[in-house]
Structure 1
Amino acid sequence: MGKISAIILLLLSLSAQSNPDIQITRALDRMFSDIQQISDQSLYDYQNLIATHISPQIDVLSMSQLILGRHWKRASIEQKQRFLECFKRQFRATQAQALFDWQPTSWKVINQEFNDNQTKAAVVISLMQPQETRQFTIRLHLINGQWLIYDAAYLGISLLKNFKDNYAVKINNQGLNKTLAQICQQYPVVIKQLTIAGTQWPPFIARSLPGQGLSVEIVSAVLTRAGYQVNMVFAPWKRVMKGMKQGEFDLSVAAWKSTKREQYLDFSDAYFYNELIGVKHKESKFELNDLDKALNQSLSIGLMDDYAYSSKIQQYPNRRYFKQYHALFRMIAAKDLDFSLLDQYVAKHYLEQTSALKNSLQVTTTSLEVKPLHISMIKQHPAAKEVIKDFNRYLKIYLKSDDYRALLKRYNIEQSN
């Protein structure tokens, strides 16, 4: 039963739609077309098809919580994360095997029903082979405007319940840790390698730091949990972009969004928020508590080259760009420039390295602008959508972990967002 129901989960690759049966009709056409294009019909090909079309559409978190029940509530963050990782691989493998073993040749949507508040749907589908017809019920719920699959049933038997009963027996007999060890061993990680790149930007990206910087540590930790093996390369921003376009690098470790960049880059969810502060001469009389007020005073501002500042900053007439922080600070110390706009931790790091200038400069305590920090990939990268979806999913878990809190503490960083 489990294998056949898993076939339906593959076929129902749903996007964010208010009417599931309409999207199912479109999805079935697309899936049958993709299946016909699989060369030699190897199991590996089907696994890749599952990874591309289905994994983002399955609510693995809700399924995991329902399957483990009370054990989920008692599990540590690490155990939850491990189950999510290994169950996701198990689910993907069983779906691929099911599709490989039994392929319907035609289909028909029979019925669709919603609950009272339209947040859950049950779609009944008939799948046919020349000598056999089977009906399945697919259960979906609406999460953040998207219909996600959380169960399938054949002959009234729930796939979710099968998983739940199976895990309950194993956990009751041998405990959660041993059960996790078995499933993770049975469905091992397939190592996927990524070359990640970034520009020297301490304390976020730095060769000299033990973990190569906060951003490198966060991105590496999240991708590792998602099953990737990463190799870090340091390069100037323009070199990073060129290397990504040429396929030498897979992703940029740290990037701010801009309208221009979004034309050719895909961005992850924010993994950090850079709070931009002002750096000015200690003897300067003007206040830097509000960015708009500062700009209205026609003050001269120093900016770092290749940074995606907001449009109002990029269009400000009295601005000057710098490639090196020390040159920027020297200009402010000499009163040839009124102030600069930098991340608070970057500014503090470089000022600590220049004690002579530090005594002449003042760092504001008020955040003038907040910039979300992301990983980014060239849109044409064949795995861009998969990598970023994996990153986003595991980022949510990592940001709630003790490892993340310990990392911030080690870097003496407070993140209020």
Structure 2
Amino acid sequence: MKILTKLVFLASLALGTLAFAAPAPSEEAPDVLIKRITMEVLDTARTDKAIKAGDRRRIHQLVDNLILPHIDFERTTELTLGRHWREATPQQRAQVTKEFRALLMYTYAGALSQVGDQKVVFRPLRAEPGATEVEVRFDVLQPRNPDPVQVTYRVYKTPDGWKVYDVNVLGVWLIETYKESFSAEIANGGIDGLIHTLSEKNKRLAAQPPQDGKAS
């Protein structure tokens, strides 16, 4: 289940750069844009030999270039910290956003080498005309598993196109999940304590051996 959750989480946030010769983001509906880009990233993960072999540098390159630019980490971090965001200094905000971004990068990177024959089925978009914030839903079908995993992610329109800021996998929202642990860290050591905890966790993740491309 741990690997499955990571796979779905990756798919839900696999939003990369536009496909070659693609129209500008503002010309596409959010679900159309996200579906096309998601499939591009997943297809790359399935066919890139270095990624399948667990090449960490190649995996991080794909994540950094194709996925992370289309996630609004500052908004995600602000909503996760809640009232603590308003209490933080500009420097603290920048640092915690940086560390949170790195933590999520390791999550995505750890799942990329595990991508296999999963099938992504998007649901029709339900949104009012002219809406600037919508929820895009899809199911992930696993081989030899009859139960689809439902995924929802929240995107909003910016001058640079649609960006993701929250995701729900198996009934759990990303922001709500981290909000509790972040609040506990802040209660113990303040914003600086949270930054230190995230930094140390990222160092441990960076020191872990590369994935071998096999599910466990």
Q: Same fold (TM over 0.5)?
A: yes
Q: Which amino acid aligns with 1:172?
A: A
Give the whole-Å Cα distance in 2 for the aligned partners of 1:125 and 1:114.
15
Give the whole-Å Cα distance in 2 for the aligned partners of 1:43 and 1:104.
21
Q: Quick check: 1:14–1:23 contact (8 Å CA) kept in 2?
A: no
Give the whole-Å Cα distance in 2 for the aligned partners of 1:145 and 1:48.
22
**How far did 1:27 drift?**
1.4
Name the counterpart of 2:78: 65
Name the counterpart of 2:63: 50
- The alignment status of 1:162 with 2:162, answered yes or no, reads no
Q: Secondary structure at the match of 1:53?
A: helix
**How far did 1:135 drift?**
1.8
Name the counterpart of 1:233: none
Name the counterpart of 1:37: 48
- The alignment status of 1:120 with 2:133, answered yes or no, reads yes
Q: Quick check: 2:59–2:113 contact (8 Å CA) kept in 1?
A: yes
- The alignment status of 1:186 with 2:201, answered yes or no, reads yes
**How far did 1:115 drift?**
5.2
| Alignment length (residue pairs) | 188
Gaps of 5+ in 2: 19-24, 204-216
**How far did 1:117 drift?**
4.9
Q: Which amino acid aligns with 1:91?
A: L
- The alignment status of 1:28 with 2:38, answered yes or no, reads yes
**How far did 1:181 drift?**
1.0
- The alignment status of 1:11 with 2:14, answered yes or no, reads yes
Q: Which amino acid aligns with 1:26?
A: R
- The alignment status of 1:96 with 2:109, answered yes or no, reads yes
Q: How high is the TM-score relative to the length of structure 1?
A: 0.42
**How far did 1:103 drift?**
4.2
In the TM superposition, 1:189-204 aligns within 5 A as: none
Name the counterpart of 2:157: 142
When residues 5 and 151 of structure 1 are mapped into structure 2, their CA distance, relative to the original with a 3 A threshold, is farther
- The alignment status of 1:86 with 2:89, answered yes or no, reads no
When residues 165 and 115 of structure 1 are mapped into structure 2, their CA distance, relative to the original with a 3 A threshold, is farther
Q: How high is the TM-score relative to the length of structure 2?
A: 0.77
**How far did 1:137 drift?**
0.7
Gaps of 5+ in 1: 189-417
Q: Quick check: 2:13–2:164 contact (8 Å CA) kept in 1?
A: no
**How far did 1:24 drift?**
2.5
Name the counterpart of 1:407: none
**How far did 1:14 drift?**
6.3
Query: Whose relative contact order is higher, 1 or 2, with alpha carbons under 8 Å and at least 6 apart?
Result: 2
Give the whole-Å Cα distance in 1 for the aligned partners of 2:106 and 2:200.
13
Q: Quick check: 2:138–2:151 contact (8 Å CA) kept in 1?
A: yes
Give the whole-Å Cα distance in 2 for the aligned partners of 1:116 and 1:30.
27
When residues 145 and 86 of structure 1 are mapped into structure 2, their CA distance, relative to the original with a 3 A threshold, is closer
Q: Secondary structure at the match of 1:152?
A: strand
Q: Quick check: 2:155–2:166 contact (8 Å CA) kept in 1?
A: yes
Give the whole-Å Cα distance in 2 for the aligned partners of 1:79 and 1:141.
25
Larger radius of gyration: 1
Percent identity, please: 22
**How far did 1:141 drift?**
0.5
Q: Quick check: 2:42–2:115 contact (8 Å CA) kept in 1?
A: no
Bigger fraction of residues in strand:
1
Bigger fraction of residues in helix:
2
Alignment RMSD (CA, Å): 2.2
